[in-house]
């Protein structure tokens, strides 16, 4: 196999949802040309709307000028055609958190992309090794786990699969640092560093609320001021999305046992369609 690409100029993003559009935005802001692909044009357009809203907020807060925002817009191209990613030096998948879906996407990317291109996944819980297991070149697959919201959060978790090549891992760190992110590295174990620790914390906060230990406000305030975190567990769960938290907890429960069992109230909220900030209702109400 050819050596993996040493420098990155053109970046592909698969998925134009909250995470994909955020990744496209921060990548374009770092002067990379970006191709953002989704399966339907309406999803691509929705991704651009999300980027537009994010850029507007940054401009209103004097974190970007209008000219800088225009430059970011100009560097992002939308498409529904997978072959448009063929010339990308790195492609970052940010699709549905479903192993079968991701395997299908990576099989397609493995056949379309250049042999020296790096293929990255933004998965928060799924095994990098499993995602890459059926590929002709599994050594070029790495985890690039961005935090949500991508334009604001400063960290990226680099996850190393069983067959991930050393130069691919090094390139992933360098690329994320070029986006002005701070990186940390995790082995390909369930939940990696972030969600392995975060999900039990969120679930215990939900249980404390459900068991009337304190009000939701006091639980969040206690954790914010008592541990110096920017958000308490219930507020953070609402921002992440309660459905996302439930899915991550269920995945970890299956892999690691009952200490990761999802809180009952979390399940009930998701069943009711109260998914947090994105639906206007979760543990709190939102505009």
Q: Kindly list the catalytic residues.
A: 124, 145, 157, 195
Question: What does the block give as tokens for 273?
Answer: 């369609």
> Among residues 230, 224, 159, which one has the least CA distance to residue 188?
159
CB 22, CB 54: distance < 8 Å: yes
Neighbours of 7 (CB within 10 A): 8
CB 122, CB 93: distance < 8 Å: yes
> Among residues 125, 178, 138, which one has the least CA distance to residue 11?
178
Query: Please, what sign has the CA dihedral across residues 37, 40, 44, 50?
Result: negative
Q: Which residue shows structure tokens 């999803």?
A: 43
> Among residues 44, 110, 40, 101, which one has the least CA distance to residue 77?
44
């Amino acid at each position: 196999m050819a050596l993996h690409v040493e420098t990155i100029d053109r970046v592909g993003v698969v998925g134009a949802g909250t995470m994909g559009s955020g990744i496209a935005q921060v990548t374009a802001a770092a002067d990379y040309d970006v191709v953002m692909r989704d399966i339907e044009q309406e999803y691509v357009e929705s991704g651009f709307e999300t980027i537009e809203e994010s850029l507007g907020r940054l401009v209103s807060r004097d974190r970007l000028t209008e000219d800088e925002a225009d430059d970011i817009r100009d560097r992002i191209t939308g498409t529904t055609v997978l072959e448009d990613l063929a010339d990308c030096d790195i492609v970052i998948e940010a699709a549905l958190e479903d192993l079968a879906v991701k395997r299908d996407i990576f099989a397609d990317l493995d056949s379309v992309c250049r042999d020296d291109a790096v293929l990255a996944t933004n998965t928060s819980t799924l095994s990098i090794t499993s995602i890459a297991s059926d590929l002709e070149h599994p050594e070029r697959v790495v985890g690039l786990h961005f935090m949500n919201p991508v334009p604001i959060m400063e960290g990226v978790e680099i996850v190393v699969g069983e067959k991930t090549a050393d130069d691919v891992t090094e390139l992933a760190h360098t690329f994320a640092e070029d986006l002005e992110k701070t990186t940390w590295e995790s082995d390909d174990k369930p939940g990696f560093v972030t969600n392995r620790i975060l999900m039990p914390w969120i679930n215990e906060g939900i249980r404390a609320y459900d068991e009337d230990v304190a009000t939701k406000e006091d639980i969040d305030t206690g954790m914010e001021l008592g541990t110096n975190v920017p958000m308490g567990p219930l507020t953070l769960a609402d921002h992440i999305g309660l459905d996302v938290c439930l899915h991550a907890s269920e995945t970890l429960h299956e892999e690691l046992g009952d200490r990761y069992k999802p809180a009952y109230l979390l399940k009930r909220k998701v069943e009711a369609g109260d998914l947090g900030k994105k639906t206007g209702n979760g543990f709190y109400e939102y505009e």
